[in-house]
Amino acid sequence: MMRSLSSDTLRLLVPALSLVVLLAAVFWLQPRAMSYTGLNLLFNLAVPIALATIAQMLIMTVNDLDLSMGTFVSFVACVAATYLRDQPLLGVAILAAAIAVYAGLGVMIYLRNLPSIVVTLGMSFVWGGLAVLLLPSPGGSAPDWARALMTARPPFVPMAIVASLVIALVAHLVIMRSAFGVILRGVGGNQRSVERAGWSIAGARAATYALAAFFAVLAGIALVGLTTSADANIALRYTLLSIAGVILGGGEFTGGRVSPIGAVIGALTLTLAGSFLSFLRISPDWQIGAQGAILIIVLALRLALNRMEKRRQGR
């Protein structure tokens, strides 16, 4: 029990430490950022990135990888800025159908034993094409309720941080504390045991993909609420950002080993890195490089700590 606790604590400690160190560096370089307005600017896009990261984490929990996450979030953003605003019922129906398609993909990948990378890469072109059909050029407008929610100003702490805490808590309860979460992680860790227990693997994967799509839908709506309009390419970077956020937060590609709280912290870290570099007027090309460097450094630190933990357990 103590070993398991130490492993879980270690999995969460590394991303938390990386966020604290980066935040301290930001405050040291720019003391004015240590304010309500400064934090709001630094973490402005944290909510959609955190939601997309949780969506990717769910897919990775069952040992799959979704390379269509960015284009799907872009498609959702286009739906939110058009049909969800002007014809809410039709917009909800389109998003529900998209979630159903995701669930079907999860089942098809399992039944046909297809590589998730290939299937989702193909779907990225489908979602991207649909997004272009909806909005050939940037435009549309965010639903009033989405705009009001994402620009709300709660006391003491910016909305982005409050919402990220709520996302982390909800995801932790669903994935780590619920019966569904146990089955989901079981599919990724020991699928045969789940089958012997009488659970349907196809059903579990369908539910997992549907839940991932639901979080991705929330990410697209949140993004439109922040930007007030949409674009077919608005969230293309979210594919790599979501994968990096999961890995940065202590998740692994196999075995059902994930950390919802760590994933949100990873998303916050990547958001902070991008926002801070933008705040300093550094080229977006350098921003991508800096985020990659942060990921490499944290992974190296996590590997070193994991080796130290194994050595301690071996004694």
Query: What does the pLDDT look like over 127-173, one tens digit per residue?
Result: 999 999 999 999 899 999 999 999 999 988 899 999 999 999 999 99
Confidence of residue 2 (pLDDT cuts 50, 70, 90): very low
Return d(Cα 125, Cα 87) in angstroms, integer: 26
Q: What is the pTM of this model?
A: 0.91
**Buried residues in 58-93 as b, exposed as e (16+ CB within 10 A):** bbbbbbbbbbbbbbbbbbbbbbbbbbbbeeeeebee
pLDDT band at 97 (very low <50, low <70, confident <90, very high): very high
The tokens for 161 are 């941080």
3-state SS, residue 59: helix
Are 253 and 4 within 8 A, CB to CB?
no
Q: What is the DSSP string of 77-139?
A: HHHHHTHHHHSHHHHHHHHHHHHHHHHHHHHHHHHTT--HHHHHHHHHHHHHHHHHHH-SSSB
Q: Report residue 113 as tokens.
A: 């034993």
Please compute, for residue 117, the number of CA atoms within 13 A of its CA located in the half-sphere on the CB side.
3
Q: Which domains does the chain have, with CATH numbers?
A: 8-309 (1.10.3470)
Handedness of CA 268, 261, 231, 68 (dihedral sign): positive
What pLDDT band is residue 1 in, cutting at 50, 70 and 90?
A: very low
Q: Give the orientation angle of helix 159-176 with respect to helix 179-189, to 10 degrees.
A: 70
pLDDT tens digits for 303-314? 776 677 667 666
Find out whether 185 and 258 touch, Cβ atoms under 8 Å.
yes
- Write the pLDDT tens digit of every residue in 14-55: 778 888 888 888 888 778 878 888 888 888 889 999 999 999
